[in-house]
Amino acid sequence: MMPLDRNYINPETDKDIVKNSGIPFQLDLIKDARVNKSAVEKRCVTVTNRRTVKKHNQAAWLLKAITCMDLTTLSGDDTERRVIRLCNKAKTPLRHDLLKSLGIEDIDLKVGGVCVYHQFIRTALDALQGSTIPVVAVSTGFPAGHTPKKTKILEIKEALSNGAQEIDIVISRRHVLSGNWKKLYDEISEYKEASGVACLKTILATGELGTLKNVIRASLVCMMAGANFIKTSTGKETINATLPVTLVMSRAIREYFELTEFEVGYKPAGGISSAKACLSHMMLLKEELGSRWLNPSLFRVGASSLLSDIERQIEHFSTGKYSSFNRHGIA
């Protein structure tokens, strides 16, 4: 079997990432943002029809996807035992026999992060001890965001004091839907200040924003206010991460980068449960922003069941046979 490209699989470090510190509010930039919906949809169709990766290339891309995954459990029936199992899977996302068959058993393959509710932060930290996998905590009244701002800021500070290294916040969708961009900017700026040096990811809940124009404008406001990542969804909306949203948000990142030279990450989340869907988002991101963005410092995919399908696909590449889903449980 031809060896896989190790340089592509291994995640790059973030030491040379120009992290976003935010810029002053610019209403003109927001109002000038437009989206041609038909052109966006046509562009997304060409990605799925024209761009495919097969065999060794597909295996390498899927391994790269694992390194960029925020393995997530955000259910009402979460328990300490489930979080511990999730963390164990995060540290060893693929079986050793599969890694050996690919000739990469010496690579320290692990996911990009583990995302949990506040009360499980310490449980995740204990389970991940000895690894460099960051714990991600959802905050600010996740998923609806309808809690007082003072409470949201306390949530962020509490998560950080408990040991979370990254914070996923939900924005107030009412500010977007009412066009109150300055209020949204001020609110996220306060969250940025509260989060300090921690990586701040802003969840737009794009399925509830109404239009792609609102998506690109909300993306720009979040980045102006200092967001390190912009994220599509909580995973609780009816419509979550879609290719048109990925295209619009990646172009907002590119526009902001050209304006400021700050590099902002992108995180699609919700509804990405198959390896094929994940690859489509990755290919689109690479075409819009370049290979540099396909590393855990600038790209994450929020998922729970995705890893199971990736493991099945890699096992098929290695053995030529598909296994059943019940052999690849996560938590």
Task: List the catalytic residues.
Answer: 168, 231, 267
Query: Is residue 59 a contact partner of residue 305, using CB atoms and an 8 Å limit?
Result: no
Residue partners of 100: CB distance under 8 A and separation at least 6: none
From start to end of the chain, where are the E strands? 69-72, 113-116, 135-139, 166-170, 199-203, 229-231, 265-267, 301-303
Is the distance from CB of 101 to CB of 318 less than 8 angstroms?
yes
Asked if residue 94 lies in contact with residue 313, where contact means CB atoms within 8 angstroms, the answer is no
8-state DSSP, 325:
G
Using CA atoms, how far apart are residues 12 and 165, in angstroms rounded to an integer? 19
- 136: tokens are 């991600």
Give the Cα separation of 111 and 116 in Å (integer).
14
Q: Which residue has the tokens 């714990």?
A: 135
**Which residue, chain included where needed, has tokens 């198959």?**
274
